[in-house]
Amino acid sequence: MADPRLILGRIAAVNGTSPGRASSISYTIAVHDPNVEGIFTLERQVPAKRLPDEIDIQAYTLGDIVVGSVEANRVRWHFIELPAFGPCPTGPAPQPVISPEDPLIIPVLTPYPTVNTQSVAIQSGSPSTEPTTPDE
């Protein structure tokens, strides 16, 4: 038995109300494991990492493909449920997050300094430790 290993799954059923709290949604997943012959299903499966319950999520839909892993006979699903974005509430006009007049805005600097090519003199011969100036 190879351990750890990747597995593929397909959402076979969604349990709970979507959109809704993450803790109220689970999945039945049809699984393909390279070390097991045939397809089998796992019930009450959830992703390894989820958004907090204060944020409603949109559940995956039937037929969606998900990736998981098995390590020490423990299955972990590596997919992320997205927030359930709704329409914006009506109210006062939105305010910009950053104003151009904000004193905390730092100007963008060029990454490379400019070189004044007129102040550089090239002389042939042996190197010297004395500074050189261009002929005018």
Quick check: is 56 in a domain?
A: yes
Which residues span the domain enclosing 9?
5-83
User: How many structural domains compose the chain?
Assistant: 1
| Alpha-carbon torsion (123, 129, 133, 135), positive or negative | negative
Report the Cα–Cα distance between both ends of the chain, in Å, rounded.
Answer: 82
- Tell whether omega for the bond before 19 is within 30 degrees of 0, i.e. cis: yes
Quick check: is 76 in a domain?
A: yes
How is the beta sheet containing 26-32 ordered, strand by strand?
Answer: 39-45, 26-32, 5-15, 65-71, 74-77
Quick check: is 35 in a domain?
A: yes
Quick check: is 39 in a domain?
A: yes
Quick check: is 73 in a domain?
A: yes
Q: Using DSSP, state whether 69 is helix, strand or coil.
A: strand
Closest CA to 29 of 19, 20, 39: 39
101-122 pLDDT, tens digit per residue, is 666 656 565 566 666 656 555 5
Q: What is the pTM of this model?
A: 0.61
26-56 pLDDT, tens digit per residue, is 999 999 999 889 999 999 999 999 999 998 9
